[in-house]
Structure 1
Amino acid sequence: MAGNGRIRADVKPGLEVDIVLKQDQRTGKTTRGIVKDLLTNSPQHPHGIKVRLQDGQVGRVKNIIGGASE
């Protein structure tokens, strides 16, 4: 299961994702990690669902790699 991270239902805690951190939005550099919390409440977001990774970093999901519930 891979997705683009714009639909909240696709993003779940435990999934491995690539996110763009706030400071990396200009460059588009991605950071890979495991989702801990979903921070976006709306069902979808054009720039990606905002999440907190297990290491505490916060950013918007660009790619869903896979993981927990495949």
Structure 2
Amino acid sequence: MNGQNRSDIYPGLEVDIILKKDQRTGNLTRGFVKRLLTNSAYHSRGIKVLLDDGQVGRVAWIVEEED
């Protein structure tokens, strides 16, 4: 699932984000959401979040939990 809708993202969720420095390369960083930084309900490039480890980026992908 992509990270364009704010309603799909919440603290504790595991996500892949694109850091500002990785926008050209598209390298993904995995982590857990600590706080949502984008206030709008939708963002075409992904909702901006703060991870537990302090990194900030836009959500590229929501990691699906396997049942």
Tell me the TM-score normalised to structure 2 length: 0.94
Q: 1:45 maps to which residue? A: 43
Q: Which amino acid aligns with 1:51?
A: V
The residue type paired with residue 24 of structure 2 is R
Query: Could you tell me which residue of structure 2 aligns to residue 31 of structure 1?
Result: 29
The residue correspondences of 1:51-66 to structure 2 (distance < 5 A) are 51-66=49-64
1:66: how far off? 3.8
C-alpha contact 1:19 1:62 (8 A) present in aligned 2: yes
Greater strand fraction, Structure 1 or Structure 2: 1
Root-mean-square deviation (CA), in Å?
Answer: 0.9
Q: 2: distance between equivalents of 1:14 and 1:24?
A: 23
- Which aligned runs of 4 or more in structure 1 are off by greater than 4 angstroms? none
Alignment partner, residue 17 of structure 1:
15
Question: Runs of 5+ in structure 2 lacking a partner?
Answer: none
Q: Distance in 1 between matches of 2:56 and 2:45?
A: 14
Give the share of equivalent positions with the same residue, in percent. Answer: 65
Q: What stretches of structure 1 of length at least 5 have no aligned partner?
A: none
> How many residues end up aligned between the 2 structures?
65
